[in-house]
Structure 1
């Protein structure tokens, strides 16, 4: 019997989870087979009137499982990593094993399934017809297994929450009060704690899917279809500038004045979706801004850039910067300014998603399914 290893990412979201394999011994399996077979025999002569009597589904699953007793879940992780990476060398680096060892494991998988799964070339690997069929059938297994474990596992005492840059303290307090409330799951999550950690929006998707974080806090929109979202902050954006900026004395700068300013803005990696939609909105209003991107949304860097660059302004909600003495906020010259919407996200169908849906109803958050 080979070990069962859960698929997943390591703490940095790239490498595999390192853990001790869980092995079901042959003696234990034989006892399970014997018990299942005996119960099936006892039911054989009974007419229950149920087309699928209790245990019949489990019996079929056990029959299927006997045919893959010698299949190692580790090979599925290797296969999926090679598919995603596109080359064996890149996959080996991500898995933190040698390339020859990974190639050998892939060959063993191909021998086990009885068909070639990849076409090798100098450019990397491509799936064969059989490889595409194999991928189609097995890619849901890791999440199904993870869901099965989660269904019977006790509710976690700590929820890990990924937080994108620039989230106001008011939002973190609101999320903390909501998700750590005592009424989640009818009281089963009473006393749950949140562990907030800085995670860029672009990295949250993978960490959510692999269970490294239970929730993410992001700026909408996010181009991820399998997440549920609960909007906890929806504010109009306005101009932010250093107190010494030439436009700081203007009550409402004009589009003409703004055309001579550069916009301190998010790099696409910091805020996918949001980084594109807001400049497009501004262009429709008449400001084709020249972007000055930042690859990390840290408040200290944000302040430094605004205070040391004469023709630079930023966009933020008023409440996000009103306590900052070195900055001033001015409204945009429009009745339809772009908005910043911050949302809590979770993987659709997960325990976190169910909790988020319940909390949204209690707190008045706007909840969206996929």
Structure 2
């Protein structure tokens, strides 16, 4: 599991040097771990060059699965907590898929095994997570949303821009932010209406009285990625959704210039939650967010 976590950190950072700083280990030791992983798998995961590393095709496939394994590992680790140590509290956490992809591996890295808290993780859409908090099915929810929430025990941890993402043949990042109205002439492929970035894009279109050229509604992300890479389509999305492709240059992005075109990263907690459980968890999340932002692995603007 350690080797997989190291691999994910290298892929996100784009170089062994940057990843070694994030992981707080020496670069030679990290390089040795990577070589051992590649030998064990029988494939080359990265192409090395003077500017750092880029994922090979095998590496990109492995990364997508590895990130899902990291999320699953967090659930598995939490499920056996009672067998490893006395458990004083159970913390039920709900996270949206994009937030899970970024934060769950960081939480694993930061969490102390001696905390005495069993963590159970559930992944879902923001509306579902909000409902689970109100019905006491969850203790904490972490999700991004464009909606202003007038709920008790709610904090905004960070904000995040919405982006036009596509192949270099369609999107020129040198032009800077793109006006929302200009998106009407661009073929767009998007997630289902339940997804927060899709709901946000539709909300912006309605409030600004425009209509997108929506050519396909596709799940999962891998299918949208294929359409974008092979058929030169674009997507309106958050940056982390296509973090790997943006990192290696296969896709590029322009921030969308429109009033209110930013998502909020919310921390929502159940009323009556034990402060002795909540406060260490909040500190854990804030530390993980700061690490990701400092390493340029998440485009959040921390509040």
Q: Of the two structures, which has the highest relative contact order with CA contacts closer than 8 Å and spacing of 6 or more? A: 2
Q: Which has the larger radius of gyration?
A: 1
Q: Which has the higher helix share?
A: 2
Question: TM-score when scaled to structure 1?
Answer: 0.41
Question: TM-score when scaled to structure 2?
Answer: 0.48
